[in-house]
Amino acid sequence: MASKLLRQTLTKTNRSAAIRCFSTAASVASPSEYEYPTGITMKGVKISGRPLYLDMQATTPVDPRVLDSMLPFYLSRYGNPHSRTHLYGWESETAVETARAQVAALIGASPKEIVFTSGATESNNISIKGVMHFYKDKKRHIITTQTEHKCVLDSCRHLQQEGFEVTYLPVGSDGLIDLDRLGKEIRSDTGLVSVMAVNNEIGVVQPIEEIGKICKEFNVPFHTDAAQALGKIKVDVEKWNVSLMSLSGHKIYGPKGVGALYLRRRPRIRVEPQMNGGGQERGIRSGTVPTPLVVGMGAACELAMKEMEYDENRIKGLQERLLNGIREKIDGVVVNGSMDRRYVGNLNLSFAYVEGESLLMGLKEVAVSSGSACTSASLEPSYVLRALGVDEDMAHTSIRFGIGRFTTEEEIDRAVELTVKQVEKLREMSPLYEMVKEGIDIKQIQWAQH
């Protein structure tokens, strides 16, 4: 459906335009259109052409239909939505309110409960710091998990420096929290519980509805970072009983630089603004609302609402094709996180007896990552995998494959081929793998130190 539309859009472009085109799964449909005669060299790495894109948790390509909705607000309807004295401002304001309703509809909220922000990171900061600062006289304790996105963890550490107390809940080997443990950790001065809906690194879906019930029972506000959940799994703020929810545009085939914060009206939750200015967005997030970006996010939400079921079924088939294709050819492949409670577009795999950095560099024809895009510059093993109890050597070899709306079967097959080839190549050079094949238990070996 959407992939056909994108393919048609791409094939209409001329050769010079095609070179500047999106890096999406649809690009494999017509290889001759995307050939680079001399290859591409960037950051010291040379490859024959644009790599296959399988990093959908980092960001998604903008759906062409989303782009179509945005363009008029760059070219002709460019008014400031806060200008109340002329047509340009009125039509921009109308477009913003339409987008607000589109976002609200996808999560079962009222448009009056949606505040536009620059992205999920800002929404998380407003939620965590804003709530705790507003209720600081009576509430000094916050609960979150060890596997949250870095911006949530850093916001909590910032609060700790201000004298607030933070409880970081551990997770099991499947990545899920213990609900009984959560209930026991709630105190009379607990001001907020913050748990991510879908984990960005391992795709695990937390039992958000059950968490919401516990928070309601103890009358504690509940915040969830739903950047990876929006448009991918069914989100219902009433069923989930969330007080605040962070959303992102560029994770659902919308533009970068825009997000939203759901802020419950009844019972009302209050936050202290983190930015001062003109009082836009009910004073919660000052600054001119970027009409084209907001329109794009609204359109992306509307498309997700219509196509979520279709996308999920298709992506599930591609995920199974990828996992089965790899496991049929090599052993020692471990899926990180629960397979039962998992978003189908995320597949985080560890490959035994392989050095992770070498594996990533060897897969330069496939755009994948070893974890969150916000922490991938670090050579340390993923803190999320360490929280699951994954051994350090296996945590170092993890690869996150992100599958999305525009991914094709051809891309999956090519990714399987390249991954298997690189793992086999690295294992041929690994003395540990040779020892394992000979039946030696390397964990029982006492290595001599020199």
Of 24-28, 83-87, 414-418, the poorest mean pLDDT is in 24-28
**DSSP assignment, residue 50?**
P
Question: Cβ atoms within 10 A of the Cβ of 134, count?
Answer: 15
What phi, psi does 356 have (nearest 5°)? -60, -45
Summarised one tens digit per residue, pLDDT across range 48-97 is: 889 999 999 999 999 999 999 999 999 999 999 999 999 999 999 999 99
pLDDT at residue 433 tops 80: no
Least Cα distance to 116 among 135, 95, 134 occurs for 95
**Joined tokens for residue 289:** 């609302």
Of 76-80, 166-170, 354-358, the poorest mean pLDDT is in 354-358
CB 246, CB 226: distance < 8 Å: yes
> In Å, how far from its chain's centre is CA 361?
23
pLDDT at residue 1 tops 90: no
Angle at 155 between CA 392 and CA 191, to 5 degrees: 115
Confidence of residue 435 (pLDDT cuts 50, 70, 90): confident
pTM (two decimals): 0.89
Residue with tokens 């339409």: 98
Q: Catalytic residue numbers?
A: 374
CB 138, CB 297: distance < 8 Å: no
CB 33, CB 11: distance < 8 Å: yes
CA-CA distances (angstroms) from residue 266 to 109, 145, 234? 11, 26, 22
d(CA 387, CA 390): 7
pLDDT at residue 303 tops 70: yes
DSSP codes joined into one string, 192-213: EEE--SB-TTT-BB--HHHHHH
| Residue, of 169 and 22, whose pLDDT is higher | 169
CB 197, CB 235: distance < 8 Å: yes
> In Å, how far from its chain's centre is CA 278?
31
**Joined tokens for residue 374:** 């916000």
Amino acid at 279: G
d(CA 100, CA 93): 11
pLDDT at residue 30 tops 50: no
d(CA 111, CA 387): 37
**Joined tokens for residue 342:** 């998992």
Q: Which residues pair with 41 in a beta bridge?
A: 46
Question: Cβ atoms within 10 A of the Cβ of 17, count?
Answer: 11
Q: Which residues pair with 262 in a beta bridge?
A: 114, 245
Long-range contacts, 71-80 (Cβ 8 Å, 24+): 71/292, 73/291, 73/292, 73/295, 74/292, 77/291, 78/291, 79/291, 80/288
d(CA 99, CA 281): 14
CB 284, CB 263: distance < 8 Å: yes
d(CA 37, CA 313): 37
Buried b (16+ CB within 10 A) or exposed e, 152-179: bbbbbeebeeeebebbbbebeeebbbee
Cis check for the bond before 31: say yes or no (omega within 30 of 0): no
- Across the chain, mean pLDDT equals 90
